[in-house]
Amino acid sequence: MIKKNIPVAGFTLIELSIVLLIISLIAGGVATGRSLIRSAKIVDVIDDINQYQTAVKAFELEYNGLPGDLLNAAEYWPGQTHSGNGDGDIGDSVIGNTEAYYIGEDSTFFEHLSLANLTDGAYIGNGQWTIGTNLPKTSIENNTFKPYFNSRKNLFLMGDKYDLTYNNFLVYEKTGDGDNAISPNDAYRIDLKLDDGLPGVGNFTVSTRIVDKDTKELCAKSHTSVDMPTTKYDISHSQSKCDVVFPL
């Protein structure tokens, strides 16, 4: 029996072009989808910042004190929280203790807002820094808002300390040592929406904490006291190198 050579059909150049076009469209769609999702999360962060600033102002008007620092909080909500010392600073002053942790004004900050029905979620000021317990969950995984107080009122950040032109502030940060919340590009986009687009001045600033000790890659292009008023975001980096800081 004579075997016939049956030609094997292959892709034509047109068919290959169509396949490559489809692959590129799918890849482009995935990239676009990711970008849209990220943009939506950044919008959520902006909404959160506006919400907390408004909530703190409303709390102060209603109770004549700041959340966490409120002198008579235990009288408003007996058995549910601790009172602060009423000095106007949402600091880490010890106002109570558990078996393993001290309870400070900063750890009851969101608890007071929650008891006043000024924020979503229920928080317990138990001295543990845990998302969902006394820190809020946000749209970006493992990121949260944490209250701080600084009495020095100097610069925005030198080294690893927050030296701001305002005392009480919230920091949008990632839980875990040495980590940062968002990229310089994301921080820049938020800053443009809320302030002046500059990382070192205004009512919205960022931490320029060094992430890579070898390359010295920063959120901003400089973190010296001389350059801080004019420095810009280092948007060449796509990795998370910024914590965002805003006043209360």
Number of folded domains that form the chain: 2
Contact 59, 67 (CB under 8 A): yes
User: Is residue 94 domain-resident?
Assistant: yes
Given 121, 141, 161, which residue is the final one in a domain? 141
Given 141, 164, 182, which residue is the final one in a domain? 141
Residue 188 has what pLDDT? 92
| Mean pLDDT, range 29-38, rounded to an integer | 69
Residue 208 has what pLDDT? 54
Tens of pLDDT, residues 130-171: 898 899 999 998 999 999 876 544 434 434 444 445 578 888
Contact 208, 223 (CB under 8 A): yes
Within this chain, do residues 131 and 155 fall inside the same structural domain, yes or no? no
Within this chain, do residues 157 and 105 fall inside the same structural domain, yes or no? no
User: Is residue 115 domain-resident?
Assistant: yes
Residue 154 has what pLDDT? 41
> How far, in Å, CA of 5 to CA of 173, rounded?
68
Within this chain, do residues 126 and 188 fall inside the same structural domain, yes or no? no
Within this chain, do residues 178 and 244 fall inside the same structural domain, yes or no? yes
What's this model's pTM, rounded to 2 decimal places?
0.78
Given 99, 114, 141, which residue is the final one in a domain? 141
> How far, in Å, CA of 105 to CA of 82, rounded?
8
Rounded alpha-carbon distances, angstroms, from residue 196 to 3, 41, 165, 188, 232:
79, 21, 16, 9, 11
Question: Is residue 117 pLDDT above 90, yes or no?
Answer: yes
Within this chain, do residues 242 and 155 fall inside the same structural domain, yes or no? yes
Containing structural domain, residue 155: 150-248
